[in-house]
Amino acid sequence: MLFLAELAINGGLVGLMYALVATGIVLIYKSSGVVNLAQGAFVMAGGYFAWLFVGRWQLPVPVGVLLAGGAMGLLGWITERFALRRMIGQPLIMILMLTLALEVVLRGTFPPVFGVDTKPIGSAAVQAPIWWGDILINRTYLVGGVTAVAVVVLLSLFFRSRPGIAMRAVSDDHLAAWAVGIPVERVVAFSWAASGSVAAVTGLLWGSVQGVDWSLSLLLIKALAVAVLGGLDSLAGVVLAGLFVGIAENVVSGYLDPVVGGGTKTVVTAAVIFFTILFRPYGLFGREVIERI
């Protein structure tokens, strides 16, 4: 039972860190109705900026986070201004392909610029485990999980404010939002900038766990599983779905990996995406849209 509890607790904390990646996807979807398939590369880029400011230049973590968040916010704004805005009126599949192409471009650009070797972030003291009775808890996972919940709570409060309601209105209907005077372009640009800033925080946390390299972009698959299960427009759903995915994959891999030789985490993630789309396309807490044809 202790082994199961340890797997579940650490898996839940990892799942909350997955949810933080998925938050960037939900943030853009709630404002523009677009699924950002470049969010994994955004996290990777944010990790590299965080390493540059915190790991290499040895700036205090709060200062490094602000600088990395600003750099990624600028990258998000540039992406929307010079790429996504040109796609207004184009088929949704082409916009998805553009974000996927951006994922590939960023994945191929940042490692050569910053160096392809893995960049460590954090000290041994930060990464030292915590003992809760006989249960071993990863300290970095704990910090990441608490940070993820804090970010989601702040974003949930933001979406209840006037600017947040404007973002939701833009997501519902661009033309109607224009008609009532909402600056749609600026709202969407802000959502991309905010998503980039969240990616910087996420990159710092995941970089503290596994170091910073191109593989951080692979978190996109985990984030998609969480976002699809929770609902692409539900921040609360992302948290609960993150807990489910993290616990499920950690428990399954903990018991089955020694038997089958590994790889069961990927199977769990793929199964979550497959069965959610098959049986509940809008996720557990997503808003179901019914269209009359």
Tens of pLDDT, residue by residue over 183-225, are 888 888 999 999 999 999 999 999 988 899 999 999 999 999 9
Tens of pLDDT, residue by residue over 79-104, are 999 998 888 778 889 999 999 999 99
Tens of pLDDT, residue by residue over 249-264, are 999 999 999 988 888 9
> Is residue 145 included in any domain, yes or no?
yes
pTM of whole model > 0.85? yes
Q: Which domain holds residue 69?
A: 2-220
> Is residue 81 included in any domain, yes or no?
yes
Provide the mean pLDDT of the chain: 89
Backbone angles phi, psi at 123, to 5 degrees: -110, 170
How would residue 127 be classed by pLDDT, with cut points 50, 70 and 90? low
> Is residue 182 included in any domain, yes or no?
yes
> Is residue 264 included in any domain, yes or no?
no
> Is residue 66 included in any domain, yes or no?
yes
> Is residue 291 included in any domain, yes or no?
no
How many domains does the chain contain in total?
Answer: 1
Give the mean pLDDT of 28-39. Answer: 87
Give the mean pLDDT of 153-180. Answer: 81
> Is residue 277 included in any domain, yes or no?
no
According to DSSP, residue 287 is labeled P
Beta bridge partners of 219: none
> Is residue 286 included in any domain, yes or no?
no
How far is CA 170 from each of CA 47, 54, 125, 259, rounded to the nearest angstrom?
Answer: 30, 36, 45, 50
Instruction: Please check the confidence at residue 124 and state whether its pLDDT lies above 50.
Output: no
Pairwise CA distance, residues 276 & 245, whole Å? 12
